[in-house]
């Protein structure tokens, strides 16, 4: 059975106001048309829905049963239409942005936060929430609709396996403190590097996994002595001569320029890494999420 939604909408208003005339007025329709629609609905369902009286109409037992369901559906649709109307104009709603912990604070501060600030100033009625977590968790949350935007890190070996828009690509560099000045003019092989105390990000990060795979491909074991929570903490450990670290050149440059650390030479280039926006069809994105993506892409273009 395929009954027009318009029939149920008219049924809802007739039942709500207990009057064909009142329903016709609310719906900007004619009373004969309202009456004819209810008659057609009763015919298609095979039962009477209303008792007609000179004072108006009352629901039959079948009508009461139907109204209990139609009322819920119509109210949900009305609320949904209202919310979508507000969200379409970005006058109401929520935007939850997930940012991978593998993205350094330097890149976050220079690339992402200015857009978040601009979005908040432009659309002050949208509630903004930021989540900082591992890429794989963010991707799962994004897939399940728990967050609206996912800004993630992608190692080069995963670039073609994920649906994502690349925002920025870079390579890590080696850095060390003054205690390792004897290595300044030496070009290290990965095997030689493995002999020194290494400082990495946490083993739960994509950064750690990338180096683990890189070393394993060369028949080497990746065994960092220290695991840092983020790149700035890694640089602090390097400054204190606790080991050799790897980090993106943008984050390391300030420390290098200040003479706190020095860049070491490696005989091979470290893998390219990517910062990206997880993708999904536009129809599955909220207006706020779509606009934020537009603003981020506009800035980086």
- Are 146 and 293 members of one domain? yes
Nearest in space to 33 (alpha carbons), one of 21, 42, 45: 21
- Are 285 and 160 members of one domain? yes
The answer to whether the CB of 104 falls within 8 A of the CB of 251 is: yes
Residue 37 exposed, middle or buried by CB count within 10 Å (0-12, 13-18, 19+)? buried
- Are 176 and 266 members of one domain? yes
Per-residue pLDDT at 163: 82
Q: How is residue 177 written in tokens? A: 């403190």
Domain count, the chain: 3
pTM, 2 dp: 0.60
DSSP label of 221? -
- Are 280 and 160 members of one domain? yes
- Are 161 and 280 members of one domain? yes
- At 118, which CATH number? 3.40.190.10
Boundary of a domain, candidates 88, 122, 138: 88
Phi and psi at residue 220, in whole multiples of 5°?
-115, 160
Cα–Cα dist 193/213, whole Å: 15
Residue 240 exposed, middle or buried by CB count within 10 Å (0-12, 13-18, 19+)? exposed
Boundary of a domain, candidates 53, 88, 123: 88
Count of all residues that appear for the chain in the document: 301
- Are 136 and 199 members of one domain? no
- Are 143 and 177 members of one domain? no
- Are 208 and 147 members of one domain? no
Domain range for 182 is: 168-272
- Are 65 and 208 members of one domain? no
Cα–Cα dist 52/264, whole Å: 90
**Each residue of 163-205: pLDDT tens digit?**
888 888 888 999 999 999 999 999 999 999 999 999 998 888 8
- At 73, which CATH number? 1.10.10.10
- Are 153 and 287 members of one domain? yes
Q: How is residue 298 written in tokens? A: 């506009």
Boundary of a domain, candidates 34, 54, 88: 88
Rg over alpha carbons for the chain, rounded to the nearest Å, is 31
List CB contacts of 294: < 8 A, sequence separation 6 or more.
none
Q: How is residue 293 written in tokens? A: 């993506």
- Are 199 and 226 members of one domain? yes
**Each residue of 31-87: pLDDT tens digit?**
999 999 989 988 888 999 999 888 889 999 998 999 999 888 888 787 676 556 555
User: Mean pLDDT throughout 105-133?
Assistant: 88
Per-residue pLDDT at 139: 87
Phi and psi at residue 165, in whole multiples of 5°?
-105, 120
Cα–Cα dist 201/226, whole Å: 8
3-state DSSP call for residue 231?
helix
- Are 76 and 211 members of one domain? no
């Amino acid at each position: 059975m395929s009954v027009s939604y318009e029939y149920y909408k008219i049924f809802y208003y007739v039942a709500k106001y207990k009057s064909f005339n009142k329903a016709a007025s609310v719906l900007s329709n004619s009373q004969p048309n309202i009456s004819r629609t209810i008659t057609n609905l009763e015919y298609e369902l095979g039962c009477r829905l209303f008792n007609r009286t000179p004072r108006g109409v009352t629901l039959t037992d079948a009508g009461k049963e139907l109204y209990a369901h139609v009322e819920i559906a119509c109210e949900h649709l009305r609320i949904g239409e209202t919310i979508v109307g507000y969200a379409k104009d970005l006058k109401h709603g929520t935007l939850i942005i997930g940012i991978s912990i593998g993205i350094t604070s330097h890149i976050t501060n220079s690339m992402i936060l200015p857009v978040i600030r601009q979005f908040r100033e432009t659309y002050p009625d949208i509630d903004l929430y930021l989540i900082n977590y591992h890429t794989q968790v963010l991707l799962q949350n994004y897939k399940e609709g728990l967050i609206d935007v996912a800004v993630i890190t992608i190692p080069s070996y995963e670039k073609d396996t994920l649906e994502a828009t690349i925002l920025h690509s870079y390579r890590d560099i080696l850095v060390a403190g003054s205690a390792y000045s004897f290595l300044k003019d030496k070009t290290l092989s990965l095997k030689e590097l493995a002999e020194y105390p290494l400082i990495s990000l946490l083993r739960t990060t994509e950064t750690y996994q990338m180096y683990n795979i890189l070393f394993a491909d060369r028949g080497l074991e990746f065994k960092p002595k220290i695991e840092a929570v983020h790149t700035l903490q890694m640089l602090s450990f390097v400054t204190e001569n606790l080991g050799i670290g790897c980090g993106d050149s943008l984050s390391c440059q300030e420390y290098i320029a200040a003479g706190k650390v020095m860049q070491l030479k490696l005989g091979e280039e470290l893998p390219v890494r990517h910062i990206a926006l997880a993708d999904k069809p536009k129809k599955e994105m909220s207006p706020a999420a779509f606009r934020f993506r537009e603003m981020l892409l506009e800035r980086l273009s």
